[in-house]
Amino acid sequence: MQLNELIERCSQNDVSAQARVYQMFSDKLFALCLKYAKNTADAEDVLQDSFITIFSKIAQYKGTGSFEGWLKRITINVALQKYRQKSRLEVVRDDEISAEVYVEVQQDIETDFLLGLVQQLPDRYRLVFNLYVLDHFSHKEIAEMLQISEGTSKSNLSRARAILQEKIIEYQKKQQEA
């Protein structure tokens, strides 16, 4: 069955078509959810809420752009909405922005370990880091999505990088001592 036909059947609330779309995209969307959630349980909640939103709005998909991109955008928005419901982002004044810190990563550090470090970041830093570094949104777009200033976005990114750098340096020292 073609994707366009599946989308059409989903818009008519065809449960078997919805199950097929879920099977096709749930793994990729779950990986995306893990980037924004603090843990697996939260990521599962975001994924479930995302598919509820996707199936309720699937008739709005007009076929322009990739369907997977449309799904990812909804999933990111659901993740951000869940975060906003839990708490407000910490506002940081523009004059508190420090120089950007970049992390040098040795090749022997596992991707899963790095993802774990990102998930340990405070929510406000993790969200900005993921949106900017992993999903390539601009600070202007992030500011609009999170309802913060561009300066706050830049500051939160800088602080996230500094925290990650500290943790990676600590990890590398432990590896050298072992």
| Cα–Cα distance measured from residue 21 to residue 74, given in angstroms and rounded to the nearest whole number | 15
CATH architecture of 3-86: Orthogonal Bundle (1.10)
Same fold, 3-86 and 94-177: no
- Residue extents of the structural domains in the chain: 3-86, 94-177
Whether the full predicted model's pTM is greater than 0.75, yes or no, is no
- Class of the CATH-defined domain 94-177: mainly alpha
pLDDT at 178: 74
* The pLDDT of residue 17 is above 90: yes
| Closest C-alpha to 72, from 118, 106, 31 | 31
Q: Is pLDDT of 75 > 80? A: yes
The string over 139-156, giving b where at least 16 C-beta atoms fall within 10 Å of a residue's C-beta and e elsewhere, is beebbebbebeebbbbbb
- Cα separation, 11 vs 48, in Å, equals 18
